[in-house]
């Protein structure tokens, strides 16, 4: 099981995009703590589209509850303070339970959490003067790398809705 985890998300549009991405790239999704918006907000639904109908979003009141229930997972924490680039991690084992946690848009993940997981901190390289990337973009980068390393296990490698020869018709 592969899981995207959002810690106290603050923007409904980002969370909606992550919901859509999670469903499309075959990740489950968890939200830890209270988002700064209602999960029924219009912006969230617009970004997630009809994918909300098929995606089960797990909710956890805090980090302790989440971490306690995911002791059998290999956890990775995405932060600008990591010393190791995300692509340097070996994520090939699609049989292993893995989660990828992303912090809130304004402040990221709590420092104490990061200090307790130094070997599992992932960095997305950016321009020297860049402070951060958009949350949904960051999730896309990591989810794409996980799928690449796992040879796109379980994902459609050809057009399945309109047919593989659609452009030739």
- Of 118, 115, 120, 117, the C-alpha closest to 88 is 120
For the stretch 73-102, pLDDT in tens is: 999 999 999 999 999 999 999 889 999 999
Give the number of C-alpha atoms closer than 13 A to the C-alpha of residue 15, restricted to the C-beta side: 29
For the stretch 103-127, pLDDT in tens is: 999 999 999 999 999 999 999 999 9
Alpha helices in 25-164 (DSSP H): 42-48, 63-69, 111-115, 135-149
Percent of the chain topping pLDDT 90: 68
- The three-state secondary structure class of 98 is strand
Nearest-angstrom CA–CA distance, 20 and 17: 5
């Amino acid at each position: 099981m592969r899981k995207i985890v959002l810690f106290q998300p603050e923007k409904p549009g980002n969370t909606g995009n992550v919901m859509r991405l999670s469903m499309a790239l075959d990740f489950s999704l968890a939200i830890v703590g209270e988002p700064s918006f209602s999960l029924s907000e219009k912006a969230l639904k617009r970004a997630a589209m009809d994918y909300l109908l098929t995606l089960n979003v797990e909710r956890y009141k805090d980090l302790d509850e989440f971490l306690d229930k995911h002791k059998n997972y290999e956890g990775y924490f995405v932060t600008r303070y990591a010393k190791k680039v995300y692509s340097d991690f070996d994520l090939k084992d699609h049989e292993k339970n893995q989660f990828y946690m992303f912090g809130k848009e304004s402040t990221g993940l709590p420092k104490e959490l990061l200090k307790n997981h130094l070997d599992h901190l992932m960095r997305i390289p950016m321009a020297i003067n860049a402070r951060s990337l958009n949350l949904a973009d960051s999730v896309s980068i990591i989810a794409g790398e996980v799928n690449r390393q796992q040879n796109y296990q379980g994902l459609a490698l050809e057009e399945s809705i309109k047919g593989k020869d659609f452009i030739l018709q």
